[in-house]
Amino acid sequence: MAHILIIDDERPIRSTLREILEYEKYKVSDAENGEEGLKLIEKEKFDLVLCDIKMPKMDGIEVLEKVMEKQSDLPVVMISGHGNIETAVEAIKMGAFDFIAKPLDLNRLLVTVRNALDKSDLVEETKQLRKKVHQSKLNDIIGESAAILEVKKMIEKVAPTDARVLITGSNGTGKELVARNLHQNSERKKGPFIEVNCAAIPSELIESELFGHEKGAFTSAVKQKKGKFEQAQGGTIFLDEIGDMSASAQAKVLRALQENKISRVGGEKDIKVDVRVLAATNKDLKAEIEKGNFREDLYHRLSVILIHVPSLNERKEDIPLLTEYFVDKISQEQGLAKKKFNEAALKSMQNNNWSGNIRELRNVIERLLILGSEEISKEDVERFVLPK
């Protein structure tokens, strides 16, 4: 039931409006002046305010101004017998939903009230949707263990900044998911998210892939090509497995971070780039620096913030939640029947050594959904998961 507040210094007007609105099944509160109305707005949640303009102590325009400062999404309909076009325009410009002159036209009033409440509902739905979307993005990182909660906390703190982040962790722990969450919860979320798997690109091609090339730069360069840094303009570039990057590419990435400029392979022109750089590795970069495989200056440029993603063996208490999540996800994707894992099965899975981390767990759950019993048991886990 929508809750409407009437602010008017004339008791007969308040009584008439209350009678009409309560007949239409609305919950109604009223205040005899602006100050009292604002106090009620602070204490209670209203879906709509009907406010007179000419009142003692504080006029309606001042009430509207204060409401817009604190609750700009609360619809306010201004009512006045002393109104004119200039007053109506001023009220609308300040954020009023509508302006109705006295004497009130009943039909006009009810239509305006319904329209204002429809807007209020839409605003609330949008807020809830945005909240759900935001939560779903972070909730893709499933788990409530202390280790994973620390990762989520770091993401919430760091994401809104432009700080570079180095994400460390074993293969299959979800480093890419952390990078995507950092982007999706940043000011750059409307920009591109460009991922580069440095380990999957041959060393002789990595520079062209990252920085692009000019036509004729090498034998197969038949036309100009933009690199990943240019493609990520205004957004985020994620350099996955950066520990496998060649020394020459490391030097160019360092320059890009220092000067916010790149140059294409075979080109002489400097190109300005505005990108946030996130990097990830499963290697111990400090050890790689000692071996001469990774530049120390690049490491310090990349590791403004360090986020370590724990292995599944470090967060086994999350296995029941992860199992539930993957059962739902895999069932939807593959059209498989959902199956329940009994407590003994989950305990058995928690006792397993998960060297392949989250990626291995997902594969195992898919296998059990296909091959296991109607209710996944300890015996199913021992048969299809645990080593003999």
**pLDDT at position 35:** 93
* AA identity, residue 192: P
pLDDT digits (tens, 9 = 90+) for 255-311: 999 999 988 988 888 899 999 999 999 999 999 999 999 999 999 999 999 999 999
pLDDT digits (tens, 9 = 90+) for 59-86: 889 999 999 888 888 999 998 776 566 7
- Among residues 276, 192, 190, which one has the least CA distance to residue 239? 276
Q: How far is CA 342 from CA 190, 332, 336, 346, in A?
A: 42, 21, 18, 6
pLDDT for 124 beyond 90: no
Q: How far is CA 194 from CA 179, 244, 353, in A?
A: 11, 18, 33
SS (HEC) of 274-322: CCEEEEEECCCHHHHHHHCCCCHHHHHHHCCEEEECCCHHHCHHHHHHH
Structure tokens that stand for 250 in this block: 């490391």
Q: Is 262 helix (H, G, I), strand (E, B) or coil?
A: strand
Q: Which residue in the block uniquely carries the two structure tokens 């208490």? A: 317
Q: Other CB atoms closer than 10 Å to residue 119's CB: what's the count?
A: 15
What is the mean predicted confidence (pLDDT) over 355-371? 94
**pLDDT at position 253:** 92
Contact 227, 239 (CB under 8 A): no
pLDDT for 223 beyond 80: yes
Q: Which residue in the block uniquely carries the two structure tokens 């750089």? A: 277
DSSP 265: B
CATH topology of domain 313-384: Helicase, Ruva Protein; domain 3 (1.10.8)
- Among residues 38, 35, 62, which one has the least CA distance to residue 49? 38
Q: Other CB atoms closer than 10 Å to residue 9's CB: what's the count?
A: 18
Same fold, 140-310 and 313-384: no
pLDDT digits (tens, 9 = 90+) for 88-99: 778 888 889 998
CATH number of 140-310: 3.40.50.300
Query: Which residues lie across from 48 on neighbouring strands?
Result: 4
- Map out the domains of the chain as residue ranges: 3-127, 140-310, 313-384
Q: Which H or E element spans position 139?
A: helix 106-139
Question: Has domain 3-127 been given CATH number 3.40.50.2300?
Answer: yes
pLDDT digits (tens, 9 = 90+) for 186-221: 999 999 999 999 988 887 788 889 999 888 887 777
Q: What is the longest distance spanned by two Cα atoms in the chain?
A: 88
pLDDT for 131 beyond 60: no
**pLDDT at position 216:** 84
- Sign (positive/negative) of CA torsion 218, 221, 224, 230? negative
**pLDDT at position 386:** 64
pLDDT for 388 beyond 50: no
Interatomic CA distance for residues 299 and 254, integer angstroms: 9
